[in-house]
């Protein structure tokens, strides 16, 4: 995978270059810290070390100075249904383009894997729309609803929006 390096924008906390790359087993601890921090803030579902470790080939990380400051993963339900999961950028590094670089690279990976469609349940709809995702109905993703939503305390008052990106459409 191509490494992407960029400088932070004006007022950036991190002037060091950002590298977006496939995750490696040594990244698992950094990913779990990042994801579960955002999970405690109610922004993401938590992920266990074991689940990250067993899906490490499906993760991308954003690294600055050896530190993992961003991550995202593909979570496969069926060959035709793959979720963008656990997208997070460290709180003091947001707004520097790291999330966008992760999404752009994830879409490249999804295309290389011939994934026809990506979906997400999200509160940051505007962010996903920047990459061509369209708002859709959660009812189109029964596997997701069955796997995750049944256990969620917010299931009857879900404030997340389903978005989908058709990778075969272009």
Ligand X SMILES: CC(C)(COP(=O)(O)OP(=O)(O)OC[C@H]1O[C@@H](n2cnc3c(N)ncnc32)[C@H](O)[C@@H]1OP(=O)(O)O)[C@@H](O)C(=O)NCCC(=O)NCCS
The footprint of ligand X (CB under 6 A) covers 38, 43-44, 87-89, 94-100, 120, 122, 124, 126-127, 130
Question: What is the smallest separation between the CB atom of 36 and ligand X, expressed in angstroms?
Answer: 12
* Pairing between β-strand 67-78 and β-strand 59-64 as defined by DSSP bridges: antiparallel
User: Which residues, 6 or more positions from 116, have their beta carbon under 8 angstroms from its beta carbon?
Assistant: 80, 166, 167, 168
Judged by beta carbon, residue 7 or residue 25, the one nearer ligand X is 7
Least Å distance, CB 119 to ligand X, is: 11
How far is Cα 38 from Cα 42, in angstroms, rounded to an integer? 6
For residue 102, the minimal CB distance to ligand X (Å) is 7
Nearer to ligand X, 44 or 68 (CB): 44
Give the nearer residue to ligand X in terms of CB position, either 25 or 98.
Answer: 98
Ranges assigned E (strand) in the chain: 18-22, 59-64, 67-78, 81-89, 117-122, 134-136, 161-166
Closer residue to ligand X (CB): 38 or 47: 38
Shortest Å, Cβ 67 to ligand X: 15
């Amino acid at each position: 995978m191509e490494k992407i390096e960029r400088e932070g924008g004006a007022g950036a906390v991190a002037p060091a270059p950002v590298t977006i790359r496939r995750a490696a087993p040594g990244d698992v601890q950094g990913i779990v810290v990042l994801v579960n921090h955002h999970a405690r803030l109610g922004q993401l579902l938590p992920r266990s070390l074991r689940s990250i470790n067993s899906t490490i080939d499906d993760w991308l990380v954003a690294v600055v100075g050896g530190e993992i400051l961003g991550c995202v993963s593909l979570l496969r339900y069926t060959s035709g249904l793959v979720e963008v999961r656990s997208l997070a950028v460290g709180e003091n590094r947001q707004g520097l383009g790291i999330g966008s670089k992760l999404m752009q690279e994830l879409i490249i990976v999804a295309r290389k894997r011939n994934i026809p469609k990506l979906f997400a349940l999200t509160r940051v709809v505007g962010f996903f729309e920047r990459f061509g995702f369209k708002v859709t109905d959660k009812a189109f993703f029964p596997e997701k609803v069955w796997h995750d939503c049944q256990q969620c305390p917010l299931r009857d008052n879900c404030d997340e929006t389903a978005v989908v990106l058709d990778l075969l459409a272009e």
